[in-house]
Structure 1
Amino acid sequence: MNVLLTGGAGFIGRWVAKRLLEDGHDVWILDNLSNGSRNNIAEFAGDNHLKAFAEGDIKDTKLLEDIFQQPFDICYHLAASINVQDSIDDPAATFHNDAVGTFNILEQCRKHHTKMVFMSTCMVYDKANASSGKAIDEHHPTKPASPYAGAKIAGENMVLSYWYAYNLPTTVIRPFNTYGPFQKSSGEGGVVAIFIKRDLENQTLNIYGDGTQTRDLLYVEDCARFVVQTGYSDKANGHIINAGTGRDISVNDLAAIICPDKKRIKHVPHIHPQSEIQKLLCDYTKAKKLLDWQPEITLEKGIERTRQWIKKQM
């Protein structure tokens, strides 16, 4: 197939590109490099199936019109502002990237009848009931506790409206906290990478708040396989689908696995406690049923692979 991948030079996008190229599809990548890097996709430069890389923005409607002159079978739309704190500091930028930019892509997909897979986030969910132990499925209540989550929900609703209004094949995917090689080890969103890097440098691991908040950590190659398989499946059209491992771990326990030296683990005040989700535990039953997908890499194996990759970068 001919595939357009937005955000393809980013952390997850890079692994999605790899999977698509391995499957023999012709791939065009669009990325403004605000989160991504050309280095992430440098190894694909000699692949004949990587047809083009365009450095550009999904808010540029003229650029999108030009790109869509090439007929695409599927658009995997991963390009987004992804930082919660940035969205709190500058909500307009996040809204225009994640909601308006998504609308721009949707309009091109509608005009050219291109299937669209929209990358949303588990951050749209309200917290799970910690005492019940019940995992979050797609019917779980949403709560936009940050402008990032609010913009993603807006994007989701537009994407699904095109399925109902225009019969455009679209799917919304909500991967849980993804980690692995090529994730940035500074800033926000990469707690596993940040902890590993700081441990390797013999530095203190800083935990926001009391560290009892839990995360369902999905290894990036499992995530990329999920993203790609969603696009391949007609059964996924019109659906919202989660991906995770069905196992959550507290940030305290995660830090202890990565850094056995308790003296180097410190709790610090949370930078945005109002947007924290206390418990994230994924129910991926729907992905298993519709896509025959399930995670393959354990947390322990994923952490070790990530550690080895970060070591090589140092």
Structure 2
Amino acid sequence: MKILVTGGAGFIGSNIVDGFIENGHDVIVVDNFSHGNKNNINKKARVYNIDIRDKDLYKVFEKEKPEVVCHHAAQISVPKSIDNPIEDADINIIGSLNLLECCRIYGVKKVTYPASAAIFGEPQYLPVDESHPLDMMCGYGITKHTIEHYLETYSKLYGIKYTVMRYSNVYGPRQDSTGEGGVVAIFCENMLENKVPLIFGDGTQTRDFVFVKDVVNANIIALTDLNNGIYNVATDTKISVNELFNTVNILLDKNMRPIYKEERKGDIKHSYMTYNKINKECGWEPKYSLEEGLKQTINYYVSKKHE
């Protein structure tokens, strides 16, 4: 199968590219390298340095004629979406529409798309399922949810199948601590450098962390299954930030104590998601425990440090 992956040089996208290639697929990467790293890209993938908003994006489709588009290119920073909502919407909505128009014109059969737990806001009940009311607290959440509607509409109008996957907090190799880096990356990179990590609030806030290889597996399944639906990709478990810090401390054989800072405005206190729907429809479930995932993640940061 010929698959075009947008954002294929990024943390999640590049891992997905590897998974597709390992499964025998022909992969094209589109990335503008605003945050992605060329070193992340599998050498078997063909790469185009282009922004999804670029009017010449159609030339990639004209040349490559992909059957499936896996759309991971996005503006992912919640603070940036608040500070500059116009740019956030330009990338995540207009850029995605530019992509969808290319899909329509050049006969793409399916689009897979990662939405975000940010669309749920403060949970009304736990675990959060796909029917949970939406209460976006930032522009980022609004833009990610908007594309869910466009995908449904393009499916009805033009017959393009889609799969939306709402990820919980993804972590793993290639995530970095800069920009909108996840807390796992921040803890690991800082502690390996003997820098004391910050925790905002009292650390009792809980999250659902899903390992990137489990996310890759969901994307591989979505190539052929899960048509025209929305699915949580999560672990149905929760861990506090304090517990996460202690686990990383032990795995790194450190004895550090975090520095606690004032809670950030708008941060959700408790959140975790059920994967019951995707499990019932295709059997997907997370294969990696948090400890297993953290060990692989730490090994990556250790090897990176010694490069």
Using structure 2 for the length normalisation, give the TM-score.
0.93
Gaps of 5+ in 2: none
2 CA distance for matches of 1:162 and 1:58? Answer: 18
Query: Pick from 178, 200, 211: which aligns with 2:170?
Result: 178
1:66 alignment partner, one of 52, 59, 63 = 59
| Partner Cα distance (1:76, 1:91) in 2 | 24
Match of 2:116 in 1: 121
Q: What percentage of aligned pairs have identical amino acids?
A: 35
Q: C-alpha deviations, 1:152-210, integer Å up to 9, x for none? A: 11112111221223322112111110001110123333100110112222221211122
2:26 is the alignment partner of 1:26? yes
Give the distance between the partners of 2:304 and 2:165, measured in 1 at CA: 31
Question: Residue 136 and residue 312 in structure 1: after superposition, are their counterparts in 2 closer, same or farther (change >3 A)?
Answer: same
Match of 2:290 in 1: 299
Quote the residue 1:101 is aligned against.
95
How far apart, in 2, do the equivalents of 1:212 and 1:111 lie? Answer: 49
The aligned length equals 300
Give 1:76's aligned residue.
Answer: 70
> Match of 1:145?
137
Distance 1:252 1:27 in 2: 40
In 1: Cα distance, 2:274 partner to 2:73 partner: 25
* One-letter identity of the residue aligned with 2:182: G
Paired residues of 1:160 and 1:171 also in contact (CA < 8 A): no
Does residue 239 of structure 2 align to residue 257 of structure 1? no
1:57-96 CA deviation, whole Å, 9 max, x = no partner?
A: 000122x210111221100000001111111121111111
Partner of 1:259, secondary structure, is helix
Contact kept? 1:88, 1:146, Cα under 8 Å: yes
Which residue of the other structure, out of 197, 204, 217, is the alignment partner of 1:212? 204
- Per-residue deviation, 1:228: 2.1
Residue 36 of structure 1 aligns to a residue whose secondary structure is coil
- Post-superposition Cα deviations, 1:85-116, rounded to whole Å, max 9, x if no partner, equal 11112111111111111111111112223111
Could you tell me how far apart the structure 1 residues matched to 2:88 and 2:69 are? 21
The residue number in structure 2 matching 1:193 is 185
Shift of 1:262: 7.0
TM-score when scaled to structure 1?
0.91
Does the residue aligned with 2:73 lie in a helix, a strand or coil? coil
- State which of 259, 265, 283 in structure 2 corresponds to 1:266: 259
Instruction: State the Cα RMSD in Å.
Output: 1.6
CA distance in 2, matches of 1:150, 1:128: 16
Q: Partner amino acid for 2:8?
A: G
CA contact (8 A) 1:9 1:38 kept: yes
2:244 aligned partner, one-letter code: L
Q: For residue 126 of structure 1, what is the amino acid of its counterpart? A: G
| Alignment match, 1:4 | 4
Deviation per CA, 1:108-155: give whole Å up to 9, x if none: 1122231111121111113234xx6x3111001111111111111111
Q: Within 2, Cα distance between the matches of 1:290 and 1:240? A: 11
Give the Cα separation in 1 of the matches to 2:29 and 2:213.
19
> Counterpart amino acid of 2:34?
S
What is the alpha-carbon distance in structure 2 between the residues aligned to residue 187 and residue 111 of structure 1? 35
Tell me the alpha carbon deviations over residues 250-292 of structure 1, each in whole angstroms, 9 at most, x when there is no partner: 1121112112567621211244x22x22222111011112222
**What are structure 1's unaligned runs of at least 5 residues?**
none
Mapped to 1, the partners of 2:99 and 2:84 lie a distance apart of: 22
